Amino acid sequence: MSMHEIEDMVEGAVRVLDKRAPVGDAAPRSQFAKLYEFQEGYDCGFTHFRVMDLLLARRFTYRFDLEEHPDFKKRGKFFKGLKDFTFLHDNPADDTDENLDSDEEPSPVAGYVEPPDLYCDAGSPLWRRMVEAGKLKGPDAEAPTPLRLFDVVYDVMLAAEAEGDRELIAMWFNMGPKALFGELFTRQLRKGDVVARNPFTGKDIIAEEDFTAPRQFSAEELQAAVPHAARMRELVRRTNALAVELAYDYRPPLEALAHDSVEAWWWQGL
């Protein structure tokens, strides 16, 4: 079942960021990229078309005639036969039933079609091909600036405060410190390292390849590394945002706070 609360939260963030940014400001383009990257980490549907007019205006999403796809001549029959919304992948076989029985994950989404139009998002594989083909130039040919989630979320909260949207502030704050700041606290694991212990079997879980994993962090580490964390708490306090009733509330129970100093600091006094 799709996590509608995440979808609504991201949609709300896109709307307030767009409303508060001056016309021609390039900042929302990169902020949108980070927000949709965040959404992809959850069980969510594809929600771009809720705010497609804003995504197009802010040059995050680009719309073309379907015939402009670089592979249209080679795959004309496929493209002409599209009647419904369709994701396009790096591997064309994943666009059809050809790989339906494969156990492998489909290749990354490159773009998408809502007949009769072709779309791609800045930074996507199809966007890169359009840049290489000379169909996107100047600022449109520049990739979104990599941003940290908590920086974007703080800007969302400020914009929501200006709009009087206490619900949106509460929704983002309720994601908690691990979701909002976890990307800052990681550890590098190499193939063969012990990742954790299986609580059911007692056996060690061994890394099968090198990868970056999240790590635990303390409230002191969070406050020292991320001034925005305290600013978010102050914003929530002055807006009394947590008095707003939410359909989905991720706030941990009081008994859990006694065993988690980071969560305890995040929620105390609010």
Residue 79: count other Cβ atoms within 10 Å of its Cβ.
Answer: 21
Asked whether the predicted pLDDT for residue 156 surpasses 80, the reply is yes
Alpha-carbon gap, residue 129 to 135, rounded angstroms: 9
Alpha-carbon gap, residue 155 to 18, rounded angstroms: 11
CA angle 136, 139, 142 (to 5 degrees): 80
* Packed helices 149-163 and 227-239: angle between N→C axes, nearest 10 degrees: 20
Mean pLDDT estimate for the chain: 92
- Summarised one tens digit per residue, pLDDT across range 206-219 is 878 878 888 899 99
The pLDDT confidence band at residue 102, using thresholds 50, 70 and 90, is low
What does DSSP say about strands 86-89 and 109-114: parallel, antiparallel, or unpaired?
antiparallel
Quote the pLDDT of residue 1: 57
CA angle 59, 60, 64 (to 5 degrees): 70
- Summarised one tens digit per residue, pLDDT across range 14-72 is 999 999 999 999 999 999 999 999 999 999 999 999 999 999 999 999 999 999 999 99
pTM, 2 dp: 0.91
Quote the pLDDT of residue 25: 96
Phi, psi of 258 (to 5 degrees): -65, -20
Quote the pLDDT of residue 118: 98
Contact residues for 40 (Cβ-Cβ < 8 A; gap 6+)? none
Quote the tokens at residue 65.
Answer: 């005639």
Quote the tokens at residue 265.
Answer: 């600091």
Q: Is 169 exposed, middle or buried (0-12, 13-18, 19+ CB in 10 A)?
A: buried
The pLDDT confidence band at residue 94, using thresholds 50, 70 and 90, is confident
The residue to which tokens 């947590």 are assigned: 242
- Given CA atoms 266, 254, 217, 9 in this order, what sign does their dihedral have? negative
Quote the pLDDT of residue 99: 53
Asked whether the predicted pLDDT for residue 104 surpasses 80, the reply is no
Closest CA to 36 of 101, 105, 137, 119: 119
Buried residues in 175-208 as b, exposed as e (16+ CB within 10 A): bbbbbbbbeebeeebeeeeeeeeeeeeeeeeeee
Alpha-carbon gap, residue 130 to 58, rounded angstroms: 18
